[in-house]
Amino acid sequence: MRGGFVSPSTRMIDMTLNDRPATFTLRLTPEDRLRLERDAAGMSLGAYIRWRVFDPNRPPPKSRNKFPVKDHQALSKALAALGQSRIANNLNQLAAAAHIGALPVTPEIEGDLRECVQHVAAIRKILIAALDLVDDAP
């Protein structure tokens, strides 16, 4: 080691367990990056790549649940339905009227409440599907 120069092979030999592992950079096309993220299914990309390269025969490492949504299209549909409806506004008005004791339960109010319940049930069903949950409600 003259003049402070350390060859790459010497650095690898001198590396101890307390040293940080070397970083490896990989350039990907946007399409390859999306495919990697999709295939990793919530695992960190580093963990996924190490698993696939060094030990593909063992079960995959635990994921960090980076992507809890299983169906983004269904989630978008549910959020759009929620945005288009006036459920939040209507429920807020009904709650305010009930709070001050001014909520007459007329057939019109009852119909509005039933309609709100149907909308909320439909949105709940879409969200359960989008999040890949089990619907155990009656």
119 token code pair: 């909308």
Q: Is 16 within a domain?
A: no
- Position 120 scores a pLDDT of 82
Are the CB atoms for 94 and 119 separated by under 8 Å? no
Judged on CB neighbours under 10 Å (0-12, 13-18, 19+), 101 is exposed
Task: Give tens-digit pLDDT for 9-32.
Answer: 555 555 555 677 788 888 999 999
Q: Is 103 within a domain?
A: yes
- Position 35 scores a pLDDT of 92
- Position 1 scores a pLDDT of 45
Are the CB atoms for 50 and 67 separated by under 8 Å? no
Q: Provide the whole-model pTM.
A: 0.41
Number of independent structural domains in the chain: 2
Q: Is 11 within a domain?
A: no
Task: Give tens-digit pLDDT for 40-90.
Answer: 887 888 888 888 999 888 887 766 555 566 777 877 877 787 777 777 787
Domain of residue 60, residue span: 27-67
Whole-angstrom distance, CA of residue 29 vs CA of residue 83: 35
Q: Is 46 within a domain?
A: yes
